[in-house]
Every structure is written in structure tokens, then in C-alpha cells.
Structure 1
Amino acid sequence: MKNKNLLSILPSLFLGLCLVALPVSAVDLAQAKSAGLVGEQLNGFLGMVKPDASAEIKALVDSINAQRLAEYQRIGTKNGVPAEEVGRLTAQKVIGQAAPGQFVETASGWTQR
């Protein structure tokens, strides 16, 4: 029952995550994804596809991931589920909607769409 309730809020969560990233630097995130430097992970967080990315890109990823964690915790608390579960469910949606050319994490590692 809790999963069903949580699944019903995923569209608004996805929109919220997009909006959370906008004030940080949406253009930089889009560029980092397009350049194959970062990608979406199975846990609902951004990951470094290329570990040698600049400190600026790493800081961007850390900032967005901190905002995502706060949102996952808020939603998890509201729905009585662990934040990790919120992240995993969000990842399924975000990975499914990844643009061609972007990297996403799979069970066997990074894959380019």
C-alpha cells in the first residue's frame, strides 16, 4: 500500500527534482550530462561517469545530490518509507526518460542511451 501511494507521487517528485536543480545551474548540469561527465544512478542520485571531471562539475553533482537527498527524506517521512526507496523509485523514472546520448547506470555499469 505504501509503495502504491509513493508511486502516485513520482510525477510530482520528478518535476520537483528538475526544479531543485534549476537554481543550482541547469545549463551546467545539462552540459555535464551531454558531455558524458555525469549520469543518473540506480539509487536516484547523480554519479560521475568520468572521475577526472573538473572540481566545478564534482561540486555541481554534490550540490544536486544534497538537494535530492533532502527531498527524498522529506517524501519518505511524509509517506512512511525509507528515503532510499524514494530514490530508487525516482531513478527508475529518471533513467527511463534519459535523453539519447546520456549515461545511465545499469546493473553492469554505465551505459550510454
Structure 2
Amino acid sequence: MKNNYAIKLLSVLAIGLWFAVMPVNAADLGQAKAAGLVGELMNGYLGLVDGNAPADVKAMVDSINAQRRAEYQRIAAKNGVPAEEVAKLTAQKVINQTAPGQFVQTPSGWQKR
């Protein structure tokens, strides 16, 4: 297992990932988050807060999650750690930076910031 320095480095890489895979439709993501349809999961992916979200929102979430998955795998392979670890580090950073009024997953479920 990597030492603490490597884990901290991964954390920096992971937050860089967030900006690297921002979708072309970032405004749509922001709107979906502001509307309470989409939130950040504890595992580093987006989730549907509202299961009745429109099909285009669901497709956007799937697309962004695929981009995130690919980037987590790339960073993990480069650093010799599991992709899940990179995803969780990213989740911590992204959740901490989530804007007020948007949803994040907590151990007890969705919570509005």
C-alpha cells in the first residue's frame, strides 16, 4: 500500500480529476443539482436524488459517471491503487465543495447542504 504522502497526492489528483471531466453540459449539471434532481454520492459518482428525474437527466448522469469511472481508473493505474480509493478521495473533496442548497449523500441518506 502507498504511504500517506502518496494518498495525499492522489487526493490532489482526484480533485483535479473533477475539473478534468466536467462535462460539456456543465450548466445542465448545475441546473439539475440546483433543482434537487442530482447529487454527489459518497462513492465518487453522481446519483439521482429524485428517481422521477427526466430521461435526459438520467442520461447525463450516466454519461458523467462513465467519464468519472474512466478517469478514476486512469489515475488508479498510474498510481498503483484501486480505482475505488481514487473515487472515494474525489467524493470527499467534491462533497466538501458542494454548494449550499444542493444534495450530497451521507451515511443516513441524501442531505441538502
Shift of 1:78: 0.8
> Number of aligned pairs?
112
Runs of at least 5 residues in structure 1 that lack an aligned partner in the other structure: none
Greater helix fraction, Structure 1 or Structure 2: 1
Give the fraction of aligned pairs with identical amino acids, expressed as a percent: 60
- The equivalent of 1:10 in structure 2 is 11
Give me the CA root mean square deviation: 1.4
User: Contact 1:6/1:79 (CA < 8 Å) preserved in 2?
Assistant: no
- The equivalent of 1:103 in structure 2 is 103
User: Contact 1:38/1:49 (CA < 8 Å) preserved in 2?
Assistant: yes
Shift of 1:19: 3.4
Task: Spell out the pairing of 1:1-113 with structure 2 (5 A cutoff).
Answer: 2=2, 3-23=4-24, 25-113=25-113
Shift of 1:6: 3.3
Shift of 1:21: 2.0
Report the secondary structure of 2:70's partner residue: helix
Q: Distance in 1 between matches of 2:7 and 2:59?
A: 30
User: What's the TM-score, normalizing by structure 1?
Assistant: 0.91
User: What's the TM-score, normalizing by structure 2?
Assistant: 0.91
- Which deviates further from its counterpart, 7-16 or 94-103? 7-16
User: Contact 1:41/1:47 (CA < 8 Å) preserved in 2?
Assistant: yes
Deviations 1:79-107 (A, max 9, x none): 11110111011101100111000100000
Runs of at least 5 residues in structure 2 that lack an aligned partner in the other structure: none
